Amino acid sequence: MTEILKGKPVADMIKADMTKKIEAFRAKGIAPKIAVVRLGEDPSDISYEKAILKVSASLNIDSEVFNIPRESTTEELLALMDKLNNDTKIHGILVFRPLPKQIDAERVVNFINPDKDIDCMNPINLEAIFEGKKDSFEPATPRAAVEILGRTGYDYQGKNVAIINRSMVVGKPLAMMLLNENATVTICHSKTKDLKAVCKNADVVFTALGRAKMLDKSYFNEDSIVIDVGVSMDKEGKISGDADYDALVDYVAKITPVPGGVGSITTTILLNQVLKAVEKQNK
């Protein structure tokens, strides 16, 4: 019988820990606050923004949205970020990406205050992950992927793990997080030879391809654990993960659903980073 790894119970566990910290901060006169920077009216950005505002309100974390035109220049965005960097009432800054083509993304990621960089854009914070520093900020999606299995008591130490993604957004930071858990990690990509064999030999497979239902039974065995980070539309227009969930749900040992899996934890993880930012700024 396949164990379904749903995100909500994990998010609730994290929120319970967060609530205690928030109460302690507010007792000291500190009101945790996130600033959300959005350029334009992209529907996916607005959807994520609504989720952030809803969860932050439920946790008693203050929030403020800074919406500027999609046509804004790099200098205009940096001017806003300079204001947020120096506002002592704002603890965490989230800039929605991808940025418009006219924006110099490299300048933006290097400009954000590392102590407020809750989405881990700044290379200083990415470097901290690679160095294994435990108090560093972490990208929300990879951390959510680790937590959805780890919070069940699963021990990654000594396990063979395959990651099908090599981006700086998911694959590479995820690999570093798992190495810090003493897992043996293989990163897979479009040039990987015999991907099916790599996946079958892994204890846990993390996938973030964005290719609906690509991974069927031939990629796994009955002991496989599948953590599906991919999100795309299938042929019927329904949201789907990379794994063929219906084909695998009574075959593999454990699997995350899409939706309702990793994605349902990311907003909570992001807001948990705001609390980490409060701690950094009030040492």
Residues 66 and 34: beta-carbon distance below 8 Å: no
CA nearest neighbour of 202 among 226, 236, 218: 226
Which pair of tokens denotes residue 23?
């109460």
Half-sphere exposure of 56 (CA within 13 A, CB side): 23
231 is in an annotated binding site: yes
Residues 242 and 181: beta-carbon distance below 8 Å: no
DSSP 256: -
The 3-class secondary structure across 204-255, one letter per residue, is EEEECCCCCCCECHHHCCCCCEEEECCCEECCCCCEECCECHHHHCCCCCEE
Residues 233 and 240: beta-carbon distance below 8 Å: yes
Other beta carbons within 10 Å of 58: 11
Burial label for 23, CB within 10 Å (0-12, 13-18, 19+), is exposed
Dihedral angle, C-alpha 20, 38, 54, 29, nearest 10 °: 30
26 is in an annotated binding site: no
Q: What is the CA radius of gyration of the chain?
A: 19
Residues annotated within the binding site for NADP(+) are 165-167, 231
Residues annotated within the binding site are 165-167, 231
